[in-house]
Chains A and B, each alone.
Chain A
């Protein structure tokens, strides 16, 4: 401080008063300067329109299983805080956070059934951990989870449908007997054997992917698809008098 005062009070032109004047002039000059709002607004509108266009292009790029209880995809992208707490809560490390290659879904949690499926925990710790409601707290019973629907996507590859004994997907299902059942019918070629066909019941399947994970083929014949991809919709005008439960 002493050292400073000496330099300050030297009788040349750099006095405290001069410096204060300079600072005040600078403030006055800065407050006269106006930020150009028009180019800013114009730039924002153009940039914003471009961003909207890009995001719309990237929407719905590809299907991933979301963790249990996840809201519909468009609501999910609108609410998930990408905090990874669902992933940290999962005792199987099933939940991954998406990389930037996933576009607008970057950082959001997903499950790759073929890698580690969801084991459908009784207490659903992923849902409990979610702070944003993206994994809906309304789902408290694991039977009400609907991550997707399992579909035998390749009947020619499924070995059970070729008459071999497999049923691995059936055994892997946490809702065994309810979500996948085996339907028996005689093997038409041999006449003596039976075909044990795994059949998914869409009302019960939660889409956990345990079947897809367990499928013994190199590329699974059973896959979990999104509800939109898997489900058909009957026209309202049909009246089914013979409905079988």
Chain B
């Protein structure tokens, strides 16, 4: 992890915060399997945090359309999560929480290192760019297929679920306080992990974070939440020299287009993960997190 931005020479505060958050999320879910301290139980699909039941809102939505039934406690658990991301930014989930996201970022780091080692400067290597709209079609598709088949569809291939279960449920006995300490889950040690590794290899070879940017239905879901979120990046044009350092570091570059063109004050597009890379890399401190009301531009 490079702690200083190579161009602006600034300390990358948000990167550090983000890595700390991503690692704590995994650590949080490992607390019980590793120590038997039952403060936090569950995994990324649903969890019990100090007695508060929270659930992945997309999973709950799928379960509602698949079972044609609303189970109120699950709806409340999902609602709490939605309210949280409405406050901190929809795809902040992607930047700070998602364990698969962390894994795919690692694959980008490998890609960068390989390109640096073997290419002349400026070479970008193979690069596949798809449309960021693709993921919305997948989101609709996943919900439609869940409704038709009555089976929660995203869960079947979700690398997020697979990665998390591999780490959380496969690592140790499910219940370390049990009388017999047999390993219980087998979710990770299986072909499921191939999905994860396959995506990571594809990304390392052809396209950085392609899953997150173009495919992930959960990312699409949080992108919609993000449009209404309160915490967003604000640009102040007084000192901005349009060096575009921010945009070159941004994982979703187009979200900065309009703010940079002075058309908007805020990054309003849902694909912004509130990762803060732009803030870290701006040499003139023109970017900041600020409170945005949903109708503000």
Min CB–CB distance B282 → chain A (angstroms): 10
Chain B 126-157 near chain A by CB (<8 Å), digits 1 or 0: 00000101100110110011101111110110
B140 proximity list for chain A (CB < 8 A): 44
B55 at the interface (CB under 8 A from A): yes
Interface 1/0 per residue, B168-195 and A, CB below 8 Å: 1100011101111110111101111111
Q: Which B247-292 residues have C-beta < 8 A from chain A?
A: 254, 257-258, 260-263, 283-284
Contact segment of B41-49, B99-107, B112-120: B41-49
Which of B67, B149, B261 is close to A79, meaning CB atoms less than 8 Å apart? B67
Judge whether A52 is part of the interface by a CB distance below 8 angstroms.
yes
Q: Mark A54-98, 1 if CB is under 8 A from B, else 0.
A: 011001000000000000001101111111110111111101111
Chain B: CB-nearest residue to A17: B242
- A90 and B175 in contact, given A43-B137, A81-B45, A83-B46 (Cβ under 8 angstroms): yes
Q: Which residues of A contact B56 (CB under 8 A)?
A: 81
Docked-complex contact B151 and A55, CB < 8 angstroms = yes
6 closest residue pairs by CB, A with B: A100-B192, A99-B190, A78-B67, A78-B66, A83-B46, A87-B174
The interface on chain A, measured as residues whose beta carbon lies within 8 A of the other chain's beta carbons, has a size of 60
Q: Is the CB of A106 within 8 A of B155?
A: yes
Does A32 interact with chain B (Cβ within 8 Å)? Answer: no
- Chain A positions 119-143 with a Cβ under 8 Å from a chain B Cβ: 129, 131-133
| A20 with B242, Cβ < 8 A, contacts A27-B258, A133-B73 known | yes
Contact, CB under 8 Å: A74 / B46: no
A78 contacts which of B138, B152, B179, B263 (Cβ < 8 Å)? B152
> Which residues of chain B are within 8 angstroms of A16 by Cβ–Cβ distance?
241-242
Of the candidates A51, A99, A103, A133, which one forms a contact with B189 in the assembled complex, judged by CB atoms under 8 Å apart? A99
For A5, the chain B residues whose CB sits under 8 A away are: 241
Tell me the interface secondary structure of chain B in the complex: mixed
| B243 interface residue (CB < 8 Å to A) | yes
Give me the interface of B with A, judged by CB distance under 8 Å: 32-33, 41-43, 45-48, 53, 55-56, 59-60, 63, 66-67, 69, 71, 73-74, 77, 131, 133-134, 137-138, 140-141, 144-146, 148-153, 155-156, 161-162, 165, 168-169, 173-175, 177-182, 184-187, 189-195, 239, 241-244, 254, 257-258, 260-263, 283-284
Q: How many Å lie between the Cα of A15 and that of B63 in the bound state? A: 55
Contact B71 A79 (CB under 8 A): yes
Asked if B66 and A79 sit within 8 Å, CB to CB, the answer is yes
In Å, the complex CA distance between A115 and B183 comes to: 11
Q: A43-B137, A95-B184 are in contact. Are A20 and B48 (CB under 8 A)?
A: no
Write the A1-44 contact mask toward B (1 if CB under 8 angstroms, else 0).
10111001000000010011001101100100001000011011
Contact, CB under 8 Å: A88 / B174: yes
Give the distance to chain A from B37, nearest Cβ to Cβ, in Å.
12
A101 and B178: CB pair below 8 A?
A: no
Q: Are A93 and B182 in contact (CB under 8 A)?
A: yes
Q: Are A107 and B148 touching (Cβ within 8 A)?
A: no
**B178 and A90: CB pair below 8 A?**
yes
Number of A-B contacts (CB under 8 A): 222
With A40-B137, A83-B45 in contact, do A93 and B241 touch (Cβ < 8 Å)? no
- Nearest CB on A from B221, distance (A): 15
Question: Are A1 and B283 closer than 8 Å at their CB atoms?
Answer: yes
In Å, the complex CA distance between A74 and B42 comes to 23
Question: With contacts A83-B47, A88-B42, A93-B175 known, is A40 near B162, CB below 8 A?
Answer: no
Known A98-B187, A100-B195; 12 more pairs at CB < 8 Å: A3-B283, A4-B284, A5-B241, A16-B242, A20-B261, A24-B261, A82-B165, A95-B184, A97-B186, A101-B191, A132-B74, A133-B71
CB contacts (< 8 Å) of A95 on chain B: these are 174, 184
Q: Which of A35, A81, A103 contacts B46 (CB 8 A)?
A: A81
Least Cβ–Cβ distance between A102 and chain B, in angstroms? 9
Task: Tell me if A97 and B185 are in contact (CB < 8 A).
Answer: yes
Give the residues in chain A near B77, CB-CB below 8 Å: 131
- Can you report 28 residue pairs joining A to B where beta carbons are below 8 Å apart? A4-B241, A4-B283, A20-B242, A23-B242, A23-B260, A30-B254, A30-B257, A52-B145, A78-B66, A81-B155, A82-B155, A82-B165, A83-B46, A84-B174, A85-B41, A85-B48, A87-B169, A88-B32, A88-B33, A91-B177, A93-B180, A93-B184, A95-B184, A97-B186, A106-B162, A107-B187, A132-B55, A132-B63
